[in-house]
Structure formats: structure tokens, C-alpha cells
Amino acid sequence: MNRLNRIFYNKRIKFLWFLTSFARYMTPKVFLQSRLERVLARAQRRPDWDYISRRADYYNRLDPQNPAGIDGLWPLAQHRLRKGIRSAYFFDTYEYTRWFDNRLRWNTVPGDVTQVPEIPSIVKSRPIRDDNANSVLLNLDKVRHFIFLKDDIPFREKENRAIFRLAVRKRPHRVRFMQMYFGSACCDAGVSGPDPSYPDEWVKPHISMYDHLKYKFILAIEGFDVATNLKWIMSSNSLAVMPRPTYETWFMEGTLVPNYHYVEIKPDYSDLEERMRYYIEHPEEAEAIIAHAHEYIAQFRDRKRERIISLLVLQRYFERTGQMA
């Protein structure tokens, strides 16, 4: 793959994302709000409507029979004025909230959300558990999180090793991984940038996403919430290796099937070498997992459908808080 393709596939150009987002912000809302009903009505005639509706209900688990009410919610008209919302979260929510009346009320919690809010809130991430209905997912900070790669290296031609290149500061579970596997023969483990909380020898030079792809196995270990690198690993011809996830985002990590979409290892990482050895000796099973991962990724590539799902999530949010019929 040439250098231009590596840059194109490995990292979105944030300046272009900002220009597009700002152009959306400058577009009068009235044009979109007048179209919303028609857009969602047409969506119901699509052959994949059942799929769209299921996805929207997965993200929005508020009870349709018991409206949550609007206590603690604030008007969409104040969206731009709210403090503490970084540009990525503002523009990614505004992309869809601008379709709705400014008088409707909502709440959003930006950042890496690991607890379920007390009131219905739009979030990027939530714990994977039964009582997470107040955490309503949208695809937020997607310029950083939703990256897919083009990988031209077949699995069988990659190195029989794993690679770990993730930040470990204030993430004790990642520190534990480094303590176990730094300097091991099976895993090229390292971190970028020195920090007094871990040994200097752990620091290794930064490498691009594409440079990870020469390895058969890439560790996707959760950080403050999800493992940010999981999406691009699953779009590659390498295997994502991780314990079963405990948080999820728009990527629906809670629906991933262990050893079908990714290689599952124990939460204490003790069986990493054993799991690697198995798939090195059974490459056809590794290639099946990679194919399943690519199939899973494919559902997020239809931008028009992703927009419809996002609008439907918000419509149902306003309905299930008793604000829309």
C-alpha cells in the first residue's frame, strides 16, 4: 500500500471534519426540521426497516410504555451554550439534534462515560448491563473512534506475534498487561511517551495504525471505557485479541461474539500465548474470525442508513421522555 493510501485509510483529516461540521452548523435548522417527518416516513418503507428499528432500540432502551419525563433536561436551544462539551461532542450531537425543534429538552454527558446517568442522557459509551436504559447511545467523537482500515496483508503472511501500543497512564489493567508481557517473545508491548508512573524502558517510538498490521494479533484492551482501536483492528486482516468487553458504544460491543468476531482472552491476560498458539496452528479458523469481523464492520459503512438510525434514536428519546407523540 502506498504512502497516500496509508494516510487516507489510517487517519481522518480532522481539519476537513471540522470544516464539514461547521458548514452543518451554519445551515439553518428549519430546512432539516421541515424534512424530518418525510425522511423517517420514507425510512419505514425501506427493505431494511426492521434492522434499522432494532438498531435504534438497542441504542435507546428507554421504556416506550413508561415515559421518563423531562425533570433535569434542558432545551435544545441551549445546546451551543452548554459548558464542558468539547467540539467533537458538540458537532457530533448537533449533526442530528438540529433536525428537531429547539423547544424539546434533553441531556448529554460528554466524554468516556462509565456510569449510567440518573436521567435519560445522550452518551458516547455505557456499561454493558441490564440497567443501562438512561444511557442512550449516539456515535460521538467518531472522528477519533470510527476509523476503518484497508489491509492488503493476508493473515498467513503476518508475523506470529501480538502487538500492544496503547496508553497505560491511569489505566491499571493496562499497566498489569505491560508488567506481564513487556519484553516477552510473543508480544511487542510498549507505550508512547514517558511517565513517572511506569518504567522508562516501556517507552517505544510511536508507530502508525498501518504498522500494526504486520502482526497477526493486535491487543484491544479497554481504556477508561472501550478499546478505541477495536474498530480498525476488526476492519483489518489481523485478529483483535481482548477480554470480553464491559463497555459499549455505537459499535455495539455488547453484541460481539467471542471467538467469532474476536479472540477472547481471560481478564487477567494469562492465556494470551495459548490463544495465539491455537490460531497460529489453525489459520483457517483465524481467517473465519477475520471474515466475521469484516461482516460486522460492513453494517456501519452505509452513511445514509447510519443517519436514519441516529435520527430515529433521538426521535424515540423525545417520545420516551413524553415530549413527542
Residue 133 grid coordinates: 436504559
> So what's the pLDDT on residue 287?
98
Residue 149 grid coordinates: 482500515
* pLDDT greater than 70 at residue 85: no
Confidence band (pLDDT; 50, 70, 90) for 8? very low
Per DSSP bridges, beta strands 135-137 and 121-123 are parallel
Alpha helices in 216-282 (DSSP H): 230-234, 272-281
**Residue range 157-171, pLDDT digits in tens:** 999 999 999 889 889
Residue 224 grid coordinates: 477508561
**Residue range 113-129, pLDDT digits in tens:** 999 999 999 999 999 99
DSSP conformation class of 6: H
* pLDDT greater than 60 at residue 84: no
Confidence band (pLDDT; 50, 70, 90) for 311? very high
Alpha helices in 213-271 (DSSP H): 230-234
Q: Collect all residues with Cβ–Cβ distance below 8 Å to 69 and sequence separation of at least 6.
A: 321, 322
User: Would you list the domain boundaries of the chain?
Assistant: 3-145+302-320, 155-298
Alpha helices in 27-171 (DSSP H): 29-33, 36-43, 49-59, 87-97, 142-145
Mean pLDDT for the chain?
91
- Choice between 72 and 88, residue whose per-residue pLDDT is larger: 72
Alpha helices in the chain (DSSP H): 3-10, 14-26, 29-33, 36-43, 49-59, 87-97, 142-145, 172-181, 209-212, 230-234, 272-281, 283-298, 303-320
- Between CA 110 and CA 126 the distance in angstroms is 11
**Residue range 192-205, pLDDT digits in tens:** 878 888 899 999 98
> So what's the pLDDT on residue 10?
45
- Between CA 110 and CA 229 the distance in angstroms is 19
Residue 308 grid coordinates: 436514519
- Between CA 244 and CA 246 the distance in angstroms is 7
* pLDDT greater than 50 at residue 2: no
Report residue 267 CA to chain centroid gap.
20
Q: Which of 183, 187, 160 is nearest to 277 (CA)?
A: 160
Task: Quote the CATH superfamily of domain 155-298.
Answer: Glycogen Phosphorylase B; (3.40.50.2000)
**Residue range 265-277, pLDDT digits in tens:** 999 999 999 999 9
Angle between helices 87-97 and 303-320 (to 10 degrees): 80
